[in-house]
């Protein structure tokens, strides 16, 4: 399915935007499009300062940015999502800097993610894909919420957009897991780890979390939604084993859209849709139903459980995390 164009009058003029994982891929192109549409300041996060400065220079050198947004400000922040300390360190510094400068944050796009296949534990003790795609993204959402809420004004409601994936539609999770286990903790075990399933499962779990978050936060304060840009050729497959790369390339060759179109999906979710999008999922700009396991009776029981288990885990990083929502 091809992705439509953004409405011609789309603008982000006067709005500040944070985008995680913006040195390459969709994050970089979303930052570029946001700048071309007038956003400033644009805060980009990268795992090292050097990657951030390279991206910053390249974004500022873009001819459209130079012409349409000549005074654009881009600020680089380091963010490594495999450790709690880096996520909380980034959030604390980012929020303190905004307060010191008397600035808010109009839009947060949580884009950074991985599709690694080899089983690996992050320094937190959680399985790596789950840590980066779910736990650290969830933690960032909660930590950024107060700043976003305080930035809402009569002219603009703050936005939190999380990048998920259509791969959440076809995971191994079809029903509520046994009640006598901590389900999320059980996913850290090497036994039972399914490499092909984990990426989609991490996004499915993040969707459960996002749905509860959007029930707890009024859309008058922050509009929360999530997006899949469809299959886009990026560096996401970099850690896919060599023997699976041909399958991946074939999928991309058959379904792929240009990366600029993928970035436009992000902008659509933060600029073209409003409060009606709160808690909902857009696939290639189209409002799309979640997987049945999210919305059926099993999903209704699983959702609060995922929220509770996630918040318990996030307390390891920030003991009073619950008080932020």
Ligand X SMILES: NC(=O)c1ccc[n+]([C@@H]2O[C@H](COP(=O)([O-])OP(=O)(O)OC[C@H]3O[C@@H](n4cnc5c(N)ncnc54)[C@H](OP(=O)(O)O)[C@@H]3O)[C@@H](O)[C@H]2O)c1
Which residues of this protein are in contact with ligand X, per CB under 6 A?
Answer: 21, 23-27, 47, 51, 79-82, 111-114, 132, 163, 165, 228-229, 231-232, 234-236
Is beta strand 281-283 parallel, antiparallel or unpaired with respect to 286-287?
A: antiparallel
C-alpha dist (Å) from residue 298 to 205, 302, 306: 14, 6, 12
Q: Which is nearer to ligand X, 151 or 282 (CB)?
A: 282
Q: Is 199 a catalytic residue?
A: yes
> In 10 A of CB 84, how many CB atoms?
21
SS3 163: strand
Q: Which of 43, 199, 266, 290 is catalytic?
A: 199
Q: Choose between 182 and 288: whose C-beta lies nearer to ligand X.
A: 288
Q: What is the smallest separation between the CB atom of 259 and ligand X, expressed in angstroms? A: 8
Strand partners, 159: 107, 223
Residue nearer to ligand X on the CB measure, 133 or 151 = 133
Strand partners, 160: 108, 224
Q: Which is nearer to ligand X, 114 or 151 (CB)?
A: 114
CA atoms of 68 and 81, how far apart (whole Å)? 33
Tell the smallest beta-carbon distance from residue 76 to ligand X (Å).
12
State the residue for tokens 């490594």: 80
Distances from the Cα of 110 to the Cα of 3, 9, 173, angstroms? 21, 24, 24
The least CB distance from residue 218 to ligand X, in Å, is 26
Rounded to the nearest whole angstrom, what is the least distance from the CB of residue 66 to ligand X in the complex?
23
Question: Annotated active-site positions, please?
Answer: 199
């Amino acid at each position: 399915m091809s992705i439509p164009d953004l409405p011609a009058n789309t603008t982000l003029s006067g709005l500040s935007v944070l985008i995680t994982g913006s040195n390459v891929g969709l994050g970089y192109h979303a930052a570029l499009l946001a700048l071309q549409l007038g956003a400033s300041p644009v805060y980009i996060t990268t795992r090292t300062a050097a990657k951030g400065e390279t991206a910053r220079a390249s974004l500022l050198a873009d001819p459209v940015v130079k012409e349409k947004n000549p005074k654009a400000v881009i600020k680089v922040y380091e963010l490594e999502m495999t450790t709690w300390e880096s996520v909380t360190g980034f959030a604390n510094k980012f929020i303190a800097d905004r307060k010191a400068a008397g600035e808010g944050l109009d839009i947060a796009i949580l884009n950074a993610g991985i599709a690694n296949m080899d089983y690996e534990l992050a320094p937190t003790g959680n399985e790596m894909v789950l840590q980066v795609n779910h736990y650290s993204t969830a933690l960032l959402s909660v930590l950024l919420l107060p700043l976003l809420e305080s930035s809402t004004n009569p002219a603009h409601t703050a936005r939190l957009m999380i990048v998920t994936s259509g791969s959440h539609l076809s995971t191994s999770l079809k029903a509520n897991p046994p009640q006598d286990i901590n389900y999320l903790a059980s996913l850290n075990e090497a036994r039972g780890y399914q490499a092909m399933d984990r990426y989609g499962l991490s996004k499915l779990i993040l969707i459960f979390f996002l749905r509860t978050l959007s029930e707890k936060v009024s859309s008058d304060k922050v509009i929360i939604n999530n997006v899949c840009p469809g299959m886009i050729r990026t560096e996401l497959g970099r850690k896919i084993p060599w023997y699976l790369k041909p399958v991946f390339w074939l999928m991309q060759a058959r379904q792929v859209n240009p990366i600029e179109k993928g970035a436009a999906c992000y902008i659509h979710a933060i600029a073209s849709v409003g409060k009606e999008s709160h808690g909902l999922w857009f696939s290639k700009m189209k409002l799309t139903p979640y997987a049945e396991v999210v919305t059926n009776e099993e999903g209704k029981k699983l959702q609060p459980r995922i929220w509770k288990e996630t918040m318990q885990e996030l307390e390891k990083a920030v003991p009073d995390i619950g008080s932020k929502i």
